[in-house]
Structure 1
Amino acid sequence: MSRITAPPRTLRLYGDLERPVDLTVAQLRRWPAQRAEVVFDCATNGAQRHVFTGPLLRDVAAEAHPAFDVHRRKDRSRFLIAVFGGDGHRSVLSWPEIDAEFGNSPVLLATTLDGRPLDAEGSQLVVPGDACGARYVSAITSIWVGAYLPPDR
C-alpha cells in the first residue's frame, strides 16, 4: 500500500528583493545552523524552555538581495521584516535588529525544535533575546522584506 505524503511546507521570501524565493525547511539547512537555547514566557502556556537550530534570518534574507545599498547604513535602517505564520500569527522586526552593524540579534529560522526536525510543520521564527514569546512565529508561510513607507506618502 502506498502512503500519500503531503508536499513539504514552504515559506515565501518576497518583497523589495532582487531574488524572491520559496524555501522548504530542508533548503534552509543549506545555510550554517546556529543553536539557540531559549527561555521565554508564553501567555497561554507559561514559561517555555526550548533548544532551536537553524540559519540566521539575516543570512537567508541577505542572499535574496534586499533592495538597499549595503554600504549605506541609513538605507538599511529603513527596512522592515514581516513574518507570517500558518495560524495567522504575524510579527514584525526591523532590519537593524538583525544586522551585524546594528543590533546583531541572532534571530533564527528554526529547522529543529528540541532536536525534532520541523520539515512537516514548517520553520519557526526564533527571537532569542525576547523575554516574551509573542514574536516566535510557528509554521512560517511567508516573510516580507521591504522599505517602510508611511501611509501618508
Structure 2
Amino acid sequence: MRRTDLPHGLFRLGFAFSVVLFGLGFAPRSIAAADIAATTASISVIVSGEVGHPLTLDATALAKLPRVTVQGSDHGVSGSWSGVPLSAILSAAGLPLGEALRGKNMALYVRISAADGYRVVYALAELDPQFRNEPVILADQHDGKALGAKEGPLRVIAPTDQRPARWIRQVTRIDVMRAPDAVDPSR
C-alpha cells in the first residue's frame, strides 16, 4: 500500500507513532548513562548534630568504610542492595555504639533527610548491630548497578522493615539528635 492509498489522517497518525517509538527506543539509554555519570560525581552526605566528629562524606570517603550487601523487597520487587552500614558511618562520626550505647545515649535518634525534604527517623539503637540482626545501610548500588538519579545516588535500605516507607531516596543529611526530657505531668 502506497502513501496515497492511505487516508491522510491515518498516515499522520502512523508517522507520529513512529516518531514516538523512535524516541522511546533511544532516549532512555542516553538519559540513564547521564544519570549514572552525574550520580557518581555528586555523592555527598553531611553527618552532623550530636556527634563527636561532624563529617561530609563523598564517594571516596564512603569507599573507605566497610561495605555489605543485603536482600530486600521494595513494593514487591526483590533485589540486592550494597552500601555502607549506617552504624559504620555513625561510628566514624564518634557516636556510642555497642556496649557504650546505654543510659542517656538511648535517647539519641537519627533523622535522615532527602534532597526533596522527605525525612525519616531511626532510634540510634535501631542502627546498632548489637540491637538489630540485619544492618540498615546507606546504599549506592542495587543489583550490582549504581543507583540512578531517581533513587540515588544514596538510599537508605532497612531490609527488616515490614514496609519500605523509611527507605529514603536521594539522601543528603544524617542528623543525630537527642529526644527532649519528658515533662513531669504533675508540674
Question: Residue 125 and residue 25 in structure 1: after superposition, are their counterparts in 2 closer, same or farther (change >3 A)?
Answer: farther
> Can you give the 5+ residue segments of structure 2 that lack an aligned partner in the other structure?
1-36
Structure with the larger helix share: 2
> Can you give the 5+ residue segments of structure 1 that lack an aligned partner in the other structure?
42-46
1:135 is aligned with what amino acid? R
Contact 1:16 1:67 in 2 (8 A): no
What are the Cα deviations for residues 63-93 of structure 1, in whole angstroms up to 9, with x where unaligned? 111379x635123311100111112221100
Asked if residue 27 in structure 1 is aligned to residue 80 in structure 2, the reply is: no
What are the Cα deviations for residues 81-139 of structure 1, in whole angstroms up to 9, with x where unaligned? 01111122211000111213323540001121121124863211010101211000111
TM-score (norm 1): 0.80
SS of equivalent residue, structure 2 residue 161: coil
The aligned length equals 144
In the aligned structure 2, how far is the partner of 1:96 from the partner of 1:112?
25
Structure with the larger strand share: 1
Contact 1:25 1:123 in 2 (8 A): no
In the aligned structure 2, how far is the partner of 1:111 from the partner of 1:119?
9
Whose relative contact order is higher, 1 or 2, with alpha carbons under 8 Å and at least 6 apart? 1
Q: Which structure would you say has the larger Rg? A: 2
Contact 2:101 2:125 in 1 (8 A): no
TM-score (norm 2): 0.67
Runs of 4+ residues deviating >4 angstroms: 150-153
Question: Residue 130 and residue 40 in structure 1: after superposition, are their counterparts in 2 closer, same or farther (change >3 A)?
Answer: farther
